[in-house]
Structure 1
Amino acid sequence: MLRFGVHSGQQYSTFADCLELWQRAEELGLDWVSVFDHYRPPLGGPDGPCFDGPSLLAALAARTSRVRCAILVSAVTWRHPATAAAIAATIDHVSSGRLEFGLGAAGPDLAYEQYGLPFPGAGVRLDMLEEACQVMRGLWGGGPFTFHGEHYRLTDARLSPRPVQERLPLVIGGGGERRTLRVAARHADVWNTLAGDLAGYRRKVGLLAGYCAEEGRPPADIRQSLTFRAVLAATPADVERRRAERLALLPAGSPDLAEYLTFGTPEQCVEDLLGYAALGVRDFLLGCRPPLDWETIELFASRVVPAVRARVEN
């Protein structure tokens, strides 16, 4: 079954703005909404707004009733995995079992410098990610759980109450071909990455399948999830105007530019997404940032989603 949603992030100036998006996504019939887990994301400058990820997610989960609620993804540098496991279990209760929790090896964030937080090298962070997956999965089982790793040490650790879901979905985020995909092959229920070129995505899918084979795990056990951006226009005549309007809001050299899969009509977006569906993607998440592009969000829900469903599921 396909799932469609929006990746809202949390760079909003008011809670009401973010809540409006989440509740509207639910009204539009989407399946999923997610925040990320940054403190000082580079986009928006050194003083841009950004709510705390897990606490915002809990509040939004309490004000929705149907959509899957997720964090894409929580950086292993922010908190001990036992703390993250307790946060996740709590939000799973708040949401009545709708949580999907993402983990990643962390990326650029101005908080490391502004707040004086440690930012280890990539190899160390990936080692932390490997251990964090084991710790969180162990604790979600309730315990007692003992783990003695290089970065984390737990002895007869317990977590109560356990998550509502018998198996809380663990999402591994990232496209690193040497380490991140190996971690996903071992631990992920869902693998999420950003849209790039289709050939590059095909290569990553092949590598993930190879790593799964090494782990003795069917690749089909891991749900493929894609986050992308788009600017949609109702008619071809409106495409260039809509494109110019959105690009004018982005700073020069914005890292977001590489994430835009479609500047075009809903029909063009459908064709772009079908290429990824053919490679196994089953979750399509439209990335959103304020000021929100409501025209794109509504065209995605009303014209892209049903067309992709009809082409893939029928």
Structure 2
Amino acid sequence: MIRFGVHSGQQYANFDECLELWTQAEDLGYDWVSLFDHQRPPLGGPDGPCFDGPTLLAALAARTRRIRCGMLVSAVTWRHPALAASIAATLDHVSGGRLEFGVGAGGADLAYEQYGLPFPRTGDRLDMLDEACEIMRGLWTRERVDHTGRHYRLAGACLEPKPVQERLPLVIGGGGEKRTLRTVARHADVWNTLVTDVETYRRKKTVLETYCREIGRDPGEIRMSMTFRVVLGADEARAEERKRERLALLPAGSPDVGEYLAFGTAERCVEALLPYVRLGVRDFLLGLRPPVDRETMRIFAEQVAPELRRAAAGTDGPAPEDRVRG
């Protein structure tokens, strides 16, 4: 089954604004809404607003009914993995078993400098990610966990209550072909990455499948997820007008520009996303930041998602999401 979501982030000036977006996403029929887990994201400047991720996610999960509640993703630099596992289990209870918990090695964040937090070198963070995934899954599923690793040590550790879901979906974000995709092959239920060109994505998928074969895992057990941005309008003229408006909101040289997959009509968006459907992507997450582009959000839900669902119908084997949701 194909799913569509909104990646909302949490750079809002007040809670009601974010809650309104989540409520609208649920009403429009989206399957998923997610936050990230930055502390001081560079976009928005050194003093821009940003709520705490897990706290905000708990509040939003308690105020929604159906939609999957995602954390996309939590950096291993913020918390010991046992604490992250406890937060995730609590969130799963608050949401009634709707959580999908994402982790990553961490990237640019102004909090490291502003708050004086340590930011280990890349190799160490990737090692931490691999260990963290093993620890979290152990605490979610086993009575006691012992772990002696390079970065973490647990002795007879327990976590109760366990998550509501029999298998809480672990999402791993990133596309690094030497280390991150190897960790995805070992631990992930869902692999999420930012949009790339089709050939780059195809190569990364092949690398992931190779790692899976090396450890004897079926690549079909890992759900493929892609986050992207688009600007949509009722016609090309309206879309061009809206493109100018949206890009004018970004600071010069913003990396967000590269996340935009399409500017145009719903038909153009469908055309841009179809190659990824054929490659096996089954989660399409529309990135939105304040001021929220509600016109694009509505057009995508009403015109793009139905076409992609039809295109994907009949192409799936045993549904990975059935295994993921528990």
> Counterpart of 2:39 in 1: which secondary structure?
coil
Residue pair 1:175, 1:204 contacting (<8 A) in 2 also: yes
Partner of 1:305: 305
Displacement after TM superposition at 1:106 (Å) = 0.1
User: Shift of the alpha carbon at 1:282?
Assistant: 0.2
Aligned position for 1:250: 250
Amino acid at match of 1:170: L
Match of 2:88 in 1: 88
1:21 aligns with 2:21: yes
Which SS does the other structure have where 1:39 is aligned? coil
Letter in 1 for 2:79: R
Determine whether 1:261 maps to 2:261: yes
1:228-281 per-residue CA deviation (whole Å, 9 max, x = no partner) reads 001001112212111101001111111100100011111111111111111110
Q: CA RMSD in A?
A: 0.6
Instruction: Name the amino acid aligned to 1:267.
Output: E
Q: CA deviation at 1:104?
A: 0.2
TM-score (norm 1): 0.99
Give yes or no for contact 1:225–1:285 (8 Å, CA) kept in 2.
yes
Give the secondary-structure state (helix, strand or coil) at the position aligned to 2:162.
coil
Listed as ranges, the gaps of 5+ residues in structure 2 are 315-326
Q: Does 1:11 align with 2:11?
A: yes
- Looking at structure 1, the residues matched to 70 and 240 of structure 2 have their Cα atoms a distance apart, in angstroms, of 33
Q: CA deviation at 1:290?
A: 0.1
| TM-score where L is the length of structure 2 | 0.96
**CA–CA distance in 1 between the matches of 2:260 and 2:143?**
43
Contact 1:231 1:263 in 2 (8 A): yes
Q: Where does residue 45 of structure 1 map in the other structure?
A: 45
Amino acid at match of 1:218: D
Query: Which residue of structure 1 lines up, in the alignment, with residue 195 of structure 2?
Result: 195
Residue 87 of structure 2 aligns to a residue whose secondary structure is helix
Write the distance in 1 (CA, Å) between the matches of 2:287 and 2:188: 21
Distance in 2, matches of 1:237 and 1:258, equals: 22
- Checking the alignment, whether the CA contact within 8 Å between 1:142 and 1:160 is kept in structure 2 is no
Is structure 2 residue 248 aligned with structure 1 residue 240? Answer: no
List gaps (5 residues or longer) in structure 1.
none
Tell me which amino acid in the other structure corresponds to 2:210. Answer: G
CA offset digits 1:173-227 (Å, max 9, x no partner): 0011100000000000000000011111111000000000011001100000000
* Alpha-carbon distance in structure 1 between the residues aligned to 2:92 and 2:250: 35
5 Å matches for 1:163-312?
A: 163-312=163-312
What is the alpha-carbon distance in structure 2 between the residues aligned to residue 267 and residue 289 of structure 1? 23
Tell me what 1:144 maps to.
Answer: 144
Distance in 2 between residues matched to 1:111 and 1:50, nearest whole Å: 11
Partner of 1:112: 112
- Distance in 2, Cα, partners of 1:6 & 1:77: 25
Distance apart, 1:142 and its partner CA: 4.2
Which residue is 2:318 aligned to?
Answer: none
Determine the C-alpha separation between the residues in 1 that align with 2:275 and 2:18: 31
The alpha carbon displacement at 1:143 in A equals: 2.1
Q: 1:177, 1:202 → 2: CA distance?
A: 12
Aligned counterparts of 1:177 and 1:102: Cα–Cα separation in 2: 18
Amino acid at match of 2:309: R
User: Helix, strand or coil: the match of 1:278?
Assistant: helix
Contact 1:172 1:184 in 2 (8 A): yes
CA distance in 2, matches of 1:299, 1:215: 42
Give the Cα separation in 2 of the matches to 1:215 and 1:267. 41
Q: Does 1:162 align with 2:162?
A: yes
Q: Which amino acid aligns with 1:69?
A: C
Aligned residue for 2:295, secondary structure, equals helix
Runs ≥4 in structure 1, deviation > 2 angstroms?
none
Q: Distance in 1 between matches of 2:215 and 2:287?
A: 32
